[in-house]
Amino acid sequence: MTEIIDKLGISHPFDKYQRIISLVPSITETLFDLGLKDRIVGVTSFCIHPVEAREKKIVGGTKTPSIERIRSLDPDIIITSKEETPREMIELLQSQFRVFVSFPRTIKDNLDLISDLGKLLKVDCIILNEYKKMTKQRLDMVKSFYSKPKTVFCPIWIDPWISLNNDTYIHNLLVSFNLINICADETDRYPVVDIDKINRVDLVILPSEPCEFKEIDKLYLQQKEAFKKAEFIFVDGSYLSWYGTRFIKAVDYLSEILIK
């Protein structure tokens, strides 16, 4: 096989693309980790990891990048995600550039993404295999993290309260730790939640992004019957929602946080 088919069904040949633009913070970090920093010419304003990413040219945000800025960088390939960039913007970019579209929703998808990016961009095999190995090791680490499953509520927004169902990367990450997402069976991928109708939960995870939850939010929930005996944990949201090579760091971080 000498090509990769992306999540929109577009075929892309393997190549050492020399001018890469990333429109996804977690993919930017992954590309750096895979040794491609010198081939990255543009990133978004949200691409803050690693620190060196902040030295790259900014093309705008993940949802509304500037076509003019992108054109000025003359990219060989743009890498984005169905979840980060609106379909209309992707189609506009596709009309002028090669665009590789990802959409990882499970831990397996994430492992496949690292592998696909490595093949697509002709990453050094030693580096790619090491990250694939570390990813699989971390997955084995968390399979029996809790001997007894814990129910968990993980909101991502407030006013209204919004959580996530079982068709999301965050859900799959939490399930890896033997946690039971109480919103798993909701129809919407990111359902609006009626706090007063939630049954008792064991654990509440309050992330710092996309909405930065505060102590006042914890106090509000603790007044509700379902949360009176729950354990509350504030976490760096990037360890929940950022995929790619951050999964390795996320397992290490969350293992330490959750075990306290």
Q: How far is CA 57 from CA 21, 40, 94, in A?
A: 9, 9, 20
Q: What are 57's strand-pairing partners?
A: 42
Instruction: Retrieve residue 116's tokens.
Output: 């696909």
User: What's the pLDDT at 39?
Assistant: 97
Q: What is the dihedral of CA 99, 105, 107, 109, to 10 degrees?
A: -40
User: What's the pLDDT at 139?
Assistant: 80
Q: How far is CA 94 from CA 98, 103, 139, 189, in A?
A: 6, 17, 35, 26
**How far is 41 from 222, CA to CA, in rounded Å?**
47
Domains of the chain: 3-139 (3.40.50.1980), 150-258 (3.40.50.1980)
Tens digit of each residue's pLDDT (9 = 90 or more) over 99-158: 999 999 998 999 999 999 999 999 988 888 888 888 888 888 776 666 678 999 999 999
pTM for the full predicted model = 0.92
User: What's the pLDDT at 88?
Assistant: 96
DSSP string over 124-190: -HHHHHHHHHHHHHHHHHHTTS-SS-EEEE---BTTTTB---TTSHHHHHHHHTTEEETTTT-SSSS
Dihedral sign, Cα of residue 92, residue 60, residue 30, residue 248? negative
User: What's the pLDDT at 131?
Assistant: 86
pLDDT-flagged residues of the chain (< 70):
1, 143-147, 260
DSSP state at residue 200:
P
Instruction: Retrieve residue 38's tokens.
Output: 């010198």
User: What's the pLDDT at 260?
Assistant: 58
Q: What are 4's strand-pairing partners?
A: 12
**How far is 70 from 58, CA to CA, in rounded Å?**
9
